[in-house]
């Protein structure tokens, strides 16, 4: 069988999600570190985003599609529940993370720290401060949900948790969001529980690289 190749920077939260999916399914893979708009990314993703995947003649873009392929093409525990309600709940939370939480957590807040676009590369304090109220609202939502159950989409760990963990990992390192995490006991317990899984320990990202 051909080797599965995951293409993308290991610092990317979505790349980490795919790598966690492989680890949960015990699927061996090769990680090809690459930035967005690298030749490999442009060859597969119509917008040059990461991650992308190759597996023999199969080439896929978009994290959820890649994880679905991994889930269905390989043996191992399901990443998405196989019952209709469980599957729908997981899909619901994955959609909420990718279209809502990721936009605020990563693209707005973390982006203002790591990719501010300012001449000296300093964090964009205006953007950070403007995002804090949104962070507060979203941390509150997650803490309420995780006060009702052990995992994001139900009583068992699944792909929805793999989408959220990489975001919380980075938020724990930033001052405003770290303070909000400390004030969110249910989310904190969930984060520790998921971080203790082998798939999380094996995929801890390296520091952010410097780009020219």
Output the six-digit token pair for 140.
């509150």
pLDDT tens per residue, the chain (212 residues)?
799 999 999 999 999 999 999 999 999 999 999 999 999 999 999 999 999 999 999 999 999 999 999 999 999 999 999 999 999 999 999 999 999 999 999 999 999 999 888 888 899 999 999 999 999 999 999 999 999 999 999 999 999 999 999 999 999 999 999 999 999 999 999 999 999 999 999 999 998 755 44
CA separation for the pair 163, 68 (Å, rounded): 13
Residue 168 and residue 9: Cα distance in Å, rounded? 18
φ, ψ dihedrals at 6, nearest 5°? -105, 125
Q: For residues 94 and 59, state if they share a domain.
A: no
Q: What is the pLDDT of residue 143?
A: 98
Q: Which domain holds residue 48?
A: 4-79
What CA–CA distance (Å, rounded) separates 79 from 124? 37
Is the CB of residue 166 less than 8 Å from the CB of residue 10?
A: no
4 phi, psi to nearest 5 deg: -75, 130
Q: Which of 79, 102, 117 is the last residue of a domain?
A: 79
Number of domains in the chain: 2
- Is 208 part of a structural domain of the chain? no
Q: In what order do the strands lie in the sheet with 29-32?
A: 29-32, 4-7, 52-55, 58-61
| Pair (60, 8) in one structural domain | yes
The structure tokens 């720290």 sit at: 113
- Do residues 115 and 193 both lie within one domain? yes
């Amino acid at each position: 069988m051909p080797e599965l190749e995951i293409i993308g920077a290991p610092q990317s939260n979505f790349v980490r999600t795919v790598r966690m999916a492989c680890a949960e399914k015990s699927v061996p893979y090769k990680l090809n570190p690459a930035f967005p708009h690298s030749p490999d990314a442009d060859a597969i993703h119509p917008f040059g985003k990461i991650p992308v995947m190759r597996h023999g003649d199969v080439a896929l873009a978009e994290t959820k599609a890649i994880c679905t392929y991994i889930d269905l093409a390989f043996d191992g525990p399901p990443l998405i529940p196989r019952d209709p309600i469980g599957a729908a709940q997981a899909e619901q939370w994955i959609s909420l993370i990718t279209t809502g939480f990721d936009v605020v957590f990563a693209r707005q807040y973390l982006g203002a720290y790591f990719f501010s676009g300012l001449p000296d590369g300093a964090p964009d304090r205006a953007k950070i401060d403007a995002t804090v109220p949104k962070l507060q609202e979203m941390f509150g939502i997650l803490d309420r949900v995780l006060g009702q159950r052990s995992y994001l989409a139900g009583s068992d760990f699944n792909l929805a948790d793999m989408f959220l963990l990489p975001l919380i990992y980075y938020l724990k390192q930033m001052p405003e969001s770290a303070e909000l995490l400390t004030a969110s006991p249910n989310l904190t317990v969930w984060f520790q529980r998921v971080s203790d899984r082998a798939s999380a320990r094996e995929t801890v990202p390296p520091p952010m690289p410097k780009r020219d």
